[in-house]
Amino acid sequence: MRLIVSSKSDPASQNIKEKLLDTHWECIDDWKGSPVYMKGKDILTTVNEHHIYVDNVDDEISSLLGVEVDLVVYISKHASKAGIHSLTVHPIGNFGIAKFGGKDDMLVPPAPGEMTYALRCLRKEAKKMGLDEYYQVSFEVTHHGPYLTTPTYYIEIGSDEGSWGDDRAGRAVASAVRKQGEHEPDDHNVVLGVGGGHYAPHFTDMVKEKKIALGHIVPGWALKDLTEEGLMLALKQSKTDTVCVDPGGVPSIFSKRLKKWCQNIGANIVEPSEL
């Protein structure tokens, strides 16, 4: 079953949730004061607080309903000091200290095929609705909580109150979520992305042109916190042995370290042009 999680404290999450519930769902239970809905192989639930701080929702819903949850999708807002209007998807977890939910030095398994397909759907929906001139559609890097053990991705609207409540943006994200749920993951090569900025522009461009899927994405700002054990965990969770370095490169001091770690654990380092 796929579990979709919304938050009462998140206006973009509620916007997307309303659009998802426009189609027929059955209310099957109550969890922490909120209804739990089901439609086909999808379950939709709501947490009261910001969902990045609510761990183990996958286990709690599995126990409540007696079902196996194999994918979790969080519908969420994205906040940016730069005020960039964006529609994004990303994996979650922390390289280093957990400043915004989750656990220190702990990652959550990504869902490479599902997340990458959701990004492709977002791009198509934004173009169809005429949002592509106003919203940047992209990956974000791996960051923030909550902590779960089930493959998970976030899908978000950013980055201010106007965009969070944007009816068309809510419909675009809801449509991408629906279509991802109806699609079997493509049999594309999965890579772990390393380096680059928060919105992973080079990795976003790569999936436009190449039949690949992204697992975890380690941003440039997290390289100082990455360890050999963290790299090994990110590769294992992404179910790949291929590290793709951002074409903008990484600092030479880390590049040497990365090559040594990959040699130690039997991983391959490739440039985008080699994929």
Residue 273's pLDDT is what?
83
Q: In the predicted model, is pLDDT for residue 72 greater than 90?
A: yes
Dihedral angle over CA of 234, 237, 238, 240, nearest 10: 90
* Residues 6+ away with beta carbon under 8 Å from 66: none
Stretch (H or E) spanning 79: strand 71-79
Q: Where are the alpha helices (DSSP H) in the chain?
A: 11-20, 57-65, 112-128, 161-164, 167-182, 201-209, 228-238, 252-265
Mean local confidence (pLDDT), 95-107: 97
Tally of CA atoms within 13 A in the half-sphere of 251 that contains its CB: 8
Residue 81's pLDDT is what?
80
Residue owning tokens 């899927």: 213
Between the alpha carbon of residue 16 and those of residues 12, 56, 91, 151, the distances in Å are 6, 22, 19, 21
Average pLDDT, the chain: 96
pLDDT band at 234 (very low <50, low <70, confident <90, very high): very high
Domains of the chain: 2-274 (3.40.630.50)
CB 3 within 8 A of CB 46: no
Mean local confidence (pLDDT), 216-230: 96
* Residues 6+ away with beta carbon under 8 Å from 239: 112, 190, 215
Residue owning tokens 């969420």: 76
Residue 187's pLDDT is what?
87
pLDDT band at 275 (very low <50, low <70, confident <90, very high): confident
Q: In the predicted model, is pLDDT for residue 205 greater than 90?
A: yes
